[in-house]
Amino acid sequence: MIRVVVVSLLTGLLSLGVGLVGWAADNDGSKLAIVSPTQGAVIKGDSVEVRYKLSNGVQATHIHCYVDGEYQKGFKGVVKGLTRGSHEIKLVAASHDHDALGAEAVVTIEVE
């Protein structure tokens, strides 16, 4: 019985620590949707225009773009240099300080 109480207590304390670390993105009420390309779209060429709709919450000021998990520095709406095959495009709402927020959108495309 004591073992169960001790394990329960330790589990509870450890779970409190997870919230203090701050690993989760802040959900500020923003909403993000990728308008184009659509899920499963087939793209000809090595670039694609990514159109999106961001409804700003309390902190969101812009988005960050990732292709296959790689940050696209200087993203201005077009992803360039895509190779043939499947690619995941992920947009994440960000604050003025570039902190990731809870709103994100993902599509997978096929490049011919």
CA distance 59 to 30: 8
pTM for the complete prediction?
A: 0.73
Question: What is the chain's pLDDT, residue by residue, as a tens digit (112 residues)?
Answer: 444 333 343 334 333 333 323 334 567 678 899 999 999 999 999 999 999 998 867 788 889 999 999 999 999 999 999 999 999 999 999 888 888 888 899 999 999 9
The structural domains of the chain, ordered by start, are: 25-111 (2.60.40.10)
Bridge partners of 95?
Answer: 60
How long is the chain? Answer: 112
Please tell me the predicted confidence (pLDDT) of residue 19. 32
Q: What is the predicted pLDDT for the residue at 110?
A: 98
Distance CA 4, CA 97 (A): 44
Q: Which backbone phi and psi does 84 adopt, to 5 degrees?
A: -60, 145
- Alpha helix ranges (H) inside 46-98: none
Please tell me the distance from the alpha carbon of residue 77 to that of residue 55, in angstroms, as a whole number.
17
User: What pLDDT, on a 0 to 100 scale, did the predictor assign at position 26?
Assistant: 61
